[in-house]
Amino acid sequence: MQTLQVDLGERSYPIHIGERLIDRSDLFASKIRGRQVAIVTNETVAPLYLDRLASTLSGYAVTPIILPDGESHKNWETLQLIFDALLGARHDRNTTVVALGGGVIGDMAGFAAASYQRGVDFIQVPTTLLSQVDSSVGGKTGINHPLGKNMIGAFYQPRAVVIDTATLATLPSRELSAGLAEVIKYGLICDEPFLTWLEANIDRIRSLDSLALTEAIHRSCAAKAKVVNADERESGVRATLNLGHTFGHAIETHMGYGVWLHGEAVSAGTVMALEMSSQLGWIGQADRDRAIRLLQRAGLPVVPPAEMQPQDFLEHMAVDKKVLDGRLRLVLLRQMGAAVVTGDFPRGVLETTLSADYGAMTEHLGA
């Protein structure tokens, strides 16, 4: 097991990474203050891991809460199911909410914990690669709105993050690839040597090589923790973690939540951010193509939906959380391994980016 620390003063917490950590009661006991525990999971994950985690927590009064699976259920109606269960079982302020699942479960369980009786403890047990390397770390919680993704929520840090890498053995290959979009992101925005390492090891990761997976998760979490330590509430550098997300969220919202997986939309959005960075003269086409090839090798889409027009993107991007005083800001690359958040770009460059022929651009690169 490897352990990292997110250093946020009295809100600091550990990130444990290793195999079969779901069975380690000691990792949970030190972070549970009361006798009540609610395990929030979904219909897909529950048959795989709920009984094991409940057994690990057998010394507590455990309430299982099983939600429908999928991004389309990340809404107020599903959130109410968590509150219904907590109130129905009379959970008090000393309860601990445990999120067992992917990013949707982590976001909703965290938001419920932030809201229930004005805040109770919660622990993240992420079971997808995307949630292990991104959404479980940093305290972003929330739900979607029909007009925008993740527009309703709270910053609320967990007491611990327990990453059991063995859960990835049951993860569909499409979900594994979706998680790799966030892993690749770290190399692009702040760690070019990690990008080089990924180019050499992407096939090992996709074949679930234990050492390669653990290294990729560890380096991703270390990068995320460093950024969160410096900027917990996304007032500055933390926004760079959203490379490709403004374009990607527009895809998710327009196509309908869950049609494109989050990582798939981020991948296509990252290609758009790379193209815009190239159009501005900040990175060369060779750098742009290098990143696109890696996304392709990860099994990810690199072309936005054909049915989306530039105006569709603009309408959805207008309600992005990085819009300030009516001005759209984007995460772009000054160079490989160095991202910036900026609203200082010519409108024409954005329009060129939105209307580019990504099919023709990426077709010759191959996987």
Catalytic residue among 185, 238, 254, 329: 238
Catalytic residue among 73, 149, 218, 262: 262
Burial of 106 (0-12, 13-18, 19+ CB in 10 A): buried
Active site residue 229: no
Closest-CA residue to 262 (of 164, 360, 129): 129
If phi over 0 gives left and psi between -120 and 50 gives alpha, with beta otherwise, what is residue 234?
Answer: left
Catalytic residue among 42, 144, 150, 242: 242
- List 67's β-bridge partners, or say none: 42
Catalytic residue among 74, 149, 150, 182: 182
Closest-CA residue to 247 (of 315, 339, 334): 315
Active site residue 224: yes
Alpha-carbon torsion angle 275, 355, 148, 277, nearest 10? 20
Catalytic residue among 71, 175, 215, 234: 234
Closest-CA residue to 165 (of 24, 5, 6, 7): 24
Catalytic residue among 10, 77, 118, 327: 118
Active site residue 321: no
Say which residue the tokens 């989306």 belong to.
308
Give me the numbers of helices (H) and strands (E) for the chain, helices first please: 14, 11
**Neighbour count for residue 345 (Cβ, 10 Å):** 17
Per DSSP, 128 falls in state: S
Active site residue 249: yes
Of the CA atoms within 13 Å of residue 26, those in its CB half-sphere come to 3
**Gap between the Cα atoms of 94 and 116, Å rounded:** 11
Active site residue 73: no
Catalytic residue among 185, 249, 297, 329: 249
Catalytic residue among 91, 219, 245, 254: 245
**Neighbour count for residue 179 (Cβ, 10 Å):** 29
**Hey, which residues are catalytic here?**
118, 140, 182, 224, 234, 238, 242, 245, 249, 262
